[in-house]
Structure 1
């Protein structure tokens, strides 16, 4: 079991990440899951599932996903073969909620065996949510590219780079389910934590993220 703990690199980046990646539809302000989950319908569908499936995964399959900053000209990740859509798991959400609890932990909870945990912490801002974490993780690729070693073979692979570890986990072809929990604390200032679970074991160096088209 393993949990990836990546803290955003800068205060400015978080301000950018507050903008959702997907266009919003109108949804009732009710939880998506009816089994005790707390994530709201719009956050789950528009800002998580659509942000991953209809934005980043779509661009990978179209060959239009940028690989790193564009200061020296745009570079793109290799075009992907078909990637399955990611779905929100109500069972995983309950697991994530139990592990994170209602406290603003300083270190990531341990993910259950056979699952991957992604942990986000940020202090000093108001009105953040786990959606901020999803946006920040998907934007990792805007700040740091996947390496030549990662893109050289018949498949794009994970090479253990912490700067893009969360992005790599969200695009990997083998995951089919995701869910997140969040905590907000005011003792000692505004604090936010998010913890997401994926339904596959942690990536190891050399694992395929996706097959090239």
Structure 2
């Protein structure tokens, strides 16, 4: 756990490229050898960061939903996602995902992990809001990647009020499209036109 948190902290501070095993192990308070013994490679550690962050995010979403009811409707999710994905851990995962483009070893570990994460989230989403798999994937992609993009904007081109307004707008658009908060009302918008 300390190594995962150390990796997140170093990525937050130095970016993915600057998050080498020496800095991560130092931040975690362990030797570099201990890091390599536990994970084998930096790429394997980064895949575990993705898994750990996802599991933490899912627990956080459920905690907020139970405490506030926020998350019971599809249109609640832009706010939920913003609260979680714009944190350092969410941004670290985004940097790891971006790095898979040029790091084939990282891609070998992370891409299957990310697919597993998506499948798990899809099951939860369909269970809560209905819809077939294609619709659920489409809606999830719209929400997650819209919020991930806004979290990048918040980090590098901070205009907090504009970013928060965009999150509110996405939520309101979803509410207008599906006032009952269920995904099935969006089916007509995702069918291809001939």
Taking structure 2 as the reference length, the TM-score comes to 0.28
Taking structure 1 as the reference length, the TM-score comes to 0.26
Higher fraction of helix: 2
Larger Rg: 2
Higher fraction of strand: 1
* Higher relative contact order structure (alpha carbons within 8 Å, sequence separation ≥ 6): 1
